[in-house]
Amino acid sequence: MKSKLFLALASLVSTQILFADQLPQPVPGTSEILRFSQLLPVFEQGIPTSEKILSGSWIRTAQATNSECSPTLKDRTSPTGIDNEDGSIISLDFKLVKVPANETIGQSESSVFAVMLKNLGVKDMNQGPFVVDTKVPQFSQYAYKLDSGEEVQNAGFTYACKQIKSDRNLMICGLNLVGVVETSGDQSCKGTSPGILAVYKKISN
């Protein structure tokens, strides 16, 4: 799992008009929830992202699990963003982050493309910044407790993200559980790829 920048380097939606290859959007005000079986073809047909596409802020608008991971996360869909009990919205922020010079190792000041994962479980429970790789999976996060956002240091999720065809402002990420897991349910989830699919909508550059 990729380390936090300050440890590793610093020592450091409105509803869309539907096309055949776009993500199906539930009608606002209805209770339709997108399921894993609906999202998997969208993920499989997704196209590679780039730093230019990723740059900016994204809110999570849908999440769905396969049967093995269903105890880990509840399927939810919300065009305005999936919220926590306190009303905060789960989101990703991508941007260039400055890496300070380090004379000890002969490293000059530089910058690296990184992601912050925000409002994990509760407001202002964030993780990162984490380095974003050019290959899939692009980044990872620590697992966390849904009721508190508290990190679980020995387990986490990797993110393989793709742009949804025909709309560069929609992205779908396949999450895989990695690390040491303690329950049989988590063990089953760990053996699937992807176990969770999450859709994000870009809200700012």
Q: Is the dihedral of CA 36, 41, 44, 46 positive or negative?
A: negative
Give me the pLDDT at residue 176, please: 92
DSSP character at residue 32: -
Higher per-residue confidence, 14 vs 151:
151
pLDDT single digits (tens) 99-156: 887 878 777 888 999 999 999 989 999 999 999 998 889 999 998 887 888 888 888 8
Q: Under a CB-based contact definition with an 8 Å cutoff, are residues 89 and 117 in contact? A: no
pLDDT single digits (tens) 162-179: 999 878 899 999 999 888
Lookup result for tokens 């993110």: 159
DSSP 149-161: --EEEEEEEEEEE
Give me the pLDDT at residue 4, please: 41
Q: What is the mean pLDDT of residues 76-82?
A: 93
pLDDT single digits (tens) 148-159: 888 888 888 999
pLDDT class of 22 with cuts at 50, 70, 90: low
Residue-averaged pLDDT of the chain = 82
Lookup result for tokens 């982050």: 97
Give me the pLDDT at residue 5, please: 38
Lookup result for tokens 């910044």: 129
pLDDT single digits (tens) 39-64: 999 999 999 999 999 999 999 999 99
Give me the pLDDT at residue 17, please: 33
Beta strands in the chain (DSSP E): 47-48, 56-65, 76-77, 91-99, 110-118, 127-131, 139-144, 151-163, 170-179, 196-204
